A = this chain, B = another copy of it.
Amino acid sequence: MKLRELASLIHGEIIGDESIEITGVSGIREAKEGDITFLSARKFLKDLAGSGASCVIVSEPLPDIPVAQVKVPNPQLAFAKLLEHFYVKRHGPAGVSADAYISGTARIAEGVSVYPFCYISAGVSLGKGTVVYPHVFIGEDSAIGEDCILHPNVTVREKVRIGDRVIIHSGTVIGSDGFGYVFDQGVHHKIPQVGGVIVADDVEIGANVSIDRATTGNTMIGSGTKIDNLVQIAHNVKIGKNSLIISQVGIAGSSEIGDYVTLAGQVGVADHTHIESETIFGAQSGAMGHVAKGIYSGSPGMPHREWLKARVVFAKLPELQKKVRALEAKIKELEKEEP
Interface residues of A (CB under 8 A from B): 25-27, 29-31, 74, 76-77, 79-80, 83-84, 87-88, 99, 101, 115-117, 119, 133-135, 137, 139, 151-153, 155, 157, 167, 169-173, 176-177, 179, 181-182, 184, 186-192, 194-195, 202, 204, 206-210, 212, 214-217, 224, 226, 228-230, 232, 234, 236, 242, 244, 246-248, 250, 252, 254, 265-266, 268, 270, 283-284, 286, 299-300, 302, 306, 309-318, 320-321, 323-324, 327-328, 330-331, 334-335, 337-338
Taking CB atoms, residues of chain B closer than 8 Å to A79 are 182, 191
Within the complex, which residue of B83, B157, B171 is in contact with A191, where a contact is CB–CB below 8 Å?
B83
Could you say which of B207, B250, B311 contacts A247, with CB atoms under 8 Å apart?
B250
Copies of this chain, how many? Answer: 3
Contact A244 B173 (CB under 8 A): no
Please tell me which one of the listed residues B25, B153, B204, B317 contacts residue A310 in the complex, with CB atoms under 8 A apart: B317
- Give the distance in Å from the alpha carbon of A26 to the alpha carbon of B192 in the complex: 11
A239 to B150, CA, bound (A): 29
A-B contact pairs, 27 of them (CB 8 A): A26-B216, A27-B214, A29-B236, A30-B214, A74-B184, A76-B182, A83-B191, A83-B215, A88-B194, A116-B119, A119-B134, A167-B177, A171-B172, A173-B229, A179-B246, A208-B230, A210-B230, A210-B247, A229-B232, A247-B250, A265-B268, A266-B268, A320-B320, A327-B331, A330-B331, A331-B331, A334-B338
Q: A278 → chain B, closest Cβ, in Å?
A: 12
Q: Which residues of B contact A310 (CB under 8 A)?
A: 314-318
Once the chains bind, are A318 and B313 in contact (CB under 8 Å)? yes
In the complex, what residue of chain B is closest to A310 when comparing beta carbons? Answer: B317
Given contacts A189-B77, A268-B284, A317-B309, contact A328 B331 (CB under 8 A): no
- Contact flag A216-B324 (CB < 8 Å), given A190-B204, A242-B188, A268-B265: no
- Smallest beta-carbon distance A228→chain B, Å: 4
List the B side residues contacting A194 at CB < 8 Å.
Answer: 83, 87-88
Which residues from chain B contact A133 at a C-beta distance below 8 Å? 137
CB-defined contacts of A152 to chain B, threshold 8 Å: 119, 137, 139, 155, 157
Cα of A80 to Cα of B320 in the assembled complex, Å:
49
Residues of B within 8 A of A313 (CB): 317-318, 320-321
